Amino acid sequence: MMLLARAPPPPALTSAASSPPQREGTVRPRRVPSPRAVVSTAAAAKAAHFRGRQNHKQVASVANPLVKHCVKLRLSAAYRRSCRRILLVGLAPILEMCRFELSFIENLLLLDNVEVPEELYEFSGNVVYVSSAVMKKVSGMQSVDSTEAIAVIHMPKYFCDRDSDQGGAVLDELFSSAKRILVLDGIQDPGNLGTLIRSACAFKWDGVFLLPACCDPFNEKALRAARGASLQLPIVSGNWSDLHALMAKYDMKMLAGHPESSSNGSERTHALSEELTDSLISESLCLVLGNEGNGLSAETLQACQLVNIPMEGTFESLNVSVAGGIFLFMLQIKQQKMAEL
């Protein structure tokens, strides 16, 4: 194969007087920093500024009192309520919570050599750098690959435990103008409970009332399913006496979701329809949803008007969080129709 040789440069031009050429000074182009470098420098300066407002600590031992405190928060609902503190495991739920209120965070635990996320630069509390052994102990996980951050946060003031009132708003303050309250009767799966709280918040219900035997709304799985709704919506944990007092104060009508095919009370079950929801638009409502396996309690069956979701096919019922989402959507206050009344 033949290679083409590069042509030699043309000879330098000389002036008419054939004077020797004058060598001009070399002009070097001015280096302009890349946009990425500028952004990186600005971000580093911003991070350094906010780091000065944070209290940084280091914890390497699983025997540290803070580690023991965090583990108890993860494992014990009673301890969470007595301390009015919650443990959030994982960066995603922490960032979801931060959309509402940064001051909720008391301690932010980060794996060694992990930078504070930009969304948390304005956090001015304790940043605790921990070893992988500590992170595994606190999170309860065998690997720290997906767990770089854990937060200890204050329990929201909108939560009230009527059995052990350790603070928080009183019942009257929580439900100052109750038009739509979701009541959960023995919901035991944290994923279902968190999903129902999230749906209630999405459809602008006024709060959630937890009857006895419900799981803790600040269980780790429930918090993940709620996606921050547990920190926005008033939640009360109480008994039937407390619920009856709430109903009497606001003259609330009680409905309960009930399978259409059930022999227990089906003769007085009404089908969920637009006609039914329109007839209830000006009413203050409590909607009760029952236990995943056993359904509604005897007291609920006696106190409530039963409503079912009409279905075709061979299935007798829906998962409680799915059925609850349908009820919450259909029974929400529709502002346009309210304006027409």
Q: Which fold has domain 159-340?
A: Alpha/beta knot (3.40.1280)
Cα angle 190-195-199, degrees, rounded to a multiple of 5: 150
CB 151 within 8 A of CB 88: yes
How many Å apart are CA 8 and CA 2, to the nearest integer?
18
Same fold, 52-154 and 159-340: no
pLDDT of 332 above 50: yes
pLDDT tens digits along 1-24:
444 444 455 555 444 444 455 555
Cα angle 193-256-320, degrees, rounded to a multiple of 5: 35
Six token digits for residue 205: 């219900």
- For the chain, the domains span 52-154, 159-340
How many Å apart are CA 341 and CA 335, to the nearest integer?
10
| pTM of the predicted model as reported, rounded to 2 decimal places | 0.79
How many Å apart are CA 104 and CA 230, to the nearest integer?
13
Residues sharing a CB contact under 8 Å with residue 191, sequence separation 6 or more, in sequence order: 221, 222, 225, 321
Q: Which of 33-42, 78-87, 267-276 has the lowest mean pLDDT?
A: 33-42
Give the count of beta carbons closer than 10 Å to the beta carbon of residue 309.
18
316 exposure class (CB count in 10 Å sphere: 0-12, 13-18, 19+): exposed
| CA 317 from centroid of its chain's CA atoms | 28
CB 303 within 8 A of CB 175: no
Q: Report which secondary-structure segment, H or E, holds 128.
A: strand 126-130
52-154 CATH pick, 3.30.1330.30, 3.40.50.2300, 3.40.1280.10, 3.40.50.800: 3.30.1330.30
Position 341 scores a pLDDT of 52
Strand partners, 185: 290
Concatenate the DSSP letters of all residues of 276-312 into one string. Answer: HHHHTTTS-EEEEEEBTTTBS-HHHHHHSEEEE----
Range ranked top by mean pLDDT from 13-27, 28-42, 294-308, 310-324: 294-308
The whole-number average pLDDT for the span 265-283 is: 85
